[in-house]
């Protein structure tokens, strides 16, 4: 099972990096698998730690894919890193073991501290639609336009029926990136297929 989260890391020059990333549980450890090249990977290899943030603010997912990476962070509790300012909860991780790979290394991390900040209020279809649209945006360069159009049409139903202001803002950022891609001026930041 894969959980979509926001991973925060810090570079050696103290620059903060915020990136959406799918994580898995593997025998009690958190498995992170960033595709090369990746700033998250570089920071993890250098600092040996990261924070996994669990958030329902889908603007952060959409924002990171559309060059809006400047999200508020605060220092982590137990590691030399940062977490998002307002996640639902977060886990502070230390890298325990690395399986290196030219394409997608696997980093097995130990949770050394966890904290809950706000309750989970339930599933929202518009949030799921924004996540699906973010994945679409990350694959724009490899998908035929007909597929993008069909998926957008379906996802729009959940946005129209169930979105709040954050979901609408995130959706607008993503659909702008898709329009720009269609018009041939790629203003999104689709790094690679996920």
Ligand X SMILES: Cc1cc2nc3c(=O)[nH]c(=O)nc-3n(C[C@H](O)[C@H](O)[C@H](O)COP(=O)(O)O)c2cc1C
Footprint of ligand X on this chain (CB under 6 A)? 4, 19-22, 33-35, 38-40, 61, 64-65, 131, 134-135, 138, 191-192, 194
Phi-psi region of 28 (alpha: psi -120 to 50; beta: other; left: phi over 0): left
Cβ atoms of residues 50 and 32 within 8 Å: yes
d(CA 167, CA 130): 7
Nearer to ligand X (CB atom), residue 21 or residue 76: 21
Nearer to ligand X (CB atom), residue 34 or residue 87: 34
**Closest distance to ligand X from the beta carbon of 5 (Å):** 8
Nearer to ligand X (CB atom), residue 19 or residue 163: 19
**Closest distance to ligand X from the beta carbon of 96 (Å):** 18
**Closest distance to ligand X from the beta carbon of 67 (Å):** 10
d(CA 158, CA 33): 30
Nearer to ligand X (CB atom), residue 94 or residue 132: 132
Nearer to ligand X (CB atom), residue 22 or residue 56: 22
Length of the chain: 194
**Closest distance to ligand X from the beta carbon of 190 (Å):** 7
**Closest distance to ligand X from the beta carbon of 40 (Å):** 3
Residue with tokens 């920071």: 43
Whether the ω angle into residue 37 lies within 30 degrees of 0, i.e. cis, is yes
Helices 125-138, 58-65: inter-axial angle, 10-degree rounding: 10
């Amino acid at each position: 099972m894969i959980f979509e989260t926001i991973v925060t890391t810090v570079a050696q020059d103290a620059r903060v990096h915020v990136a959406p990333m799918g994580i898995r549980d593997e025998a009690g450890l958190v498995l992170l698998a960033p595709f090369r090249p990746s700033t998250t990977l570089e920071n993890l290899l250098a600092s040996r730690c990261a924070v996994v943030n669990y958030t329902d603010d889908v603007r952060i997912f959409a924002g990171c894919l559309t060059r809006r990476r400047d999200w508020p962070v605060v220092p982590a509790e137990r590691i030399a890193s940062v977490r998002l300012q307002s996640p639902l909860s977060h886990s502070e991780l230390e890298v325990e073991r690395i399986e290196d790979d030219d394409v997608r290394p696997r980093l097995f991390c130990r949770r050394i501290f966890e904290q809950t900040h706000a309750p989970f209020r339930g599933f929202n279809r518009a949030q799921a639609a924004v996540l699906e649209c973010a994945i679409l945006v990350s694959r724009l360069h490899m998908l035929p336009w007909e597929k993008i159009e069909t998926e957008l049409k379906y996802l729009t139903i959940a946005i129209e029926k169930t979105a709040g202001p954050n979901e609408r803002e995130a959706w607008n950022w993503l659909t702008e990136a898709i329009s720009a891609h269609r018009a041939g001026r790629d203003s999104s930041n689709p790094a690679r297929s996920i």
